[in-house]
Amino acid sequence: MKSSAINAVAAAATLKVLGNETRLQIVLRLLRGELAVGNMERELGLRQPNLSQQLGELRDAGLVVGRRESKSVIYSLAGPTQERLVTALSYGFGLGGPALPTLPAAASPTAGSRQAHLGAVFARVTAAG
């Protein structure tokens, strides 16, 4: 397999984790910025035991990270690769999202259309694996 080819096994495992409605809600919310568990409970209307279980699944999959701040645990997306993936999902399902990431000049779509730009973002996500 070429180094630029997508690791289908890893991609399928990640998408399987994101195939859960609650976990998808969590990562979509974290796309807007980090959030303490207590605030996440309130914003998403989730109970703490279920939220903790789902956050554990997302952590195990490498999609989110938590950090302790005083008595709170603050969660965020694990990094730029995860942010690009969740951004692509958000736009792909018509949810909008934060500003699209800036592409390097060589990767910028020449057509300049929003659709071409989104396609380039998605291509970078899948290539980053």
What pLDDT is attached to residue 106?
45
Q: Is the pLDDT of residue 28 over 50?
A: yes
What confidence tier does 113 reach under pLDDT thresholds 50, 70, 90? very low
What confidence tier does 97 reach under pLDDT thresholds 50, 70, 90? low
Residue 2 lies in a domain: no
The residues, any chain, with a CB within 8 Å of residue 110's CB and separated by 6 or more, are 116
Tokens 């500003």 locate to: 99
Q: Is the pLDDT of residue 103 over 80?
A: no
What confidence tier does 93 reach under pLDDT thresholds 50, 70, 90? confident
What pLDDT is attached to residue 104?
52
Residue 3 lies in a domain: no
Residue 61 lies in a domain: yes
Beta bridge partners of 67: 74
CATH code, domain with 26: 1.10.10.10
User: How many structural domains compose the chain?
Assistant: 1
Segments forming the whole domain that contains residue 123: 8-128
What pLDDT is attached to residue 73?
95
Nearest to 26 by CA among 61, 71, 1: 61
